[in-house]
Structure 1
Amino acid sequence: MPRKSDSKGCPLCGSPSSAEHGPFCSRGCKDRDLLKWLGEGYRIPGPAAPPDPEQSSG
């Protein structure tokens, strides 16, 4: 099934999206989004992890 083009434009800067870089407008926005994923910029906060029992025994 063909994918519909996004009428909103680039999710980062709002410029019209490019078919070559879709849904982004350019390689720069595409790379910026990837760097945000790799740098954990999109992480969702969750509950605190329980303390590690191996670290507390010493």
Structure 2
Amino acid sequence: MGFGFDQLGLREVSAGCDPANVASARVLTKIGMRPAGYRHNHLQIRGQWRDRLLFAATSTG
């Protein structure tokens, strides 16, 4: 995220994971991201529509 904010000048970095993947959600929280939403049937993986848990971090500067 530092590269995105510091080098690229981004205002926000976002990520998503499968809601059932608790470990991924924990990692995103640990690196400073916060829950930003929940998308039902957001993308198709192997022929099945899947939900996504969304996270985001905003620039402090």
Alignment TM class, shorter chain as reference: under 0.3
TM-score for the superposition, normalised by structure 1: 0.21
TM-score of the two chains, using structure 2 as the length reference: 0.20
Task: Between the two structures, name the one with larger relative contact order (CA 8 Å, sep ≥ 6).
Answer: 2
Structure number with bigger Rg: 1
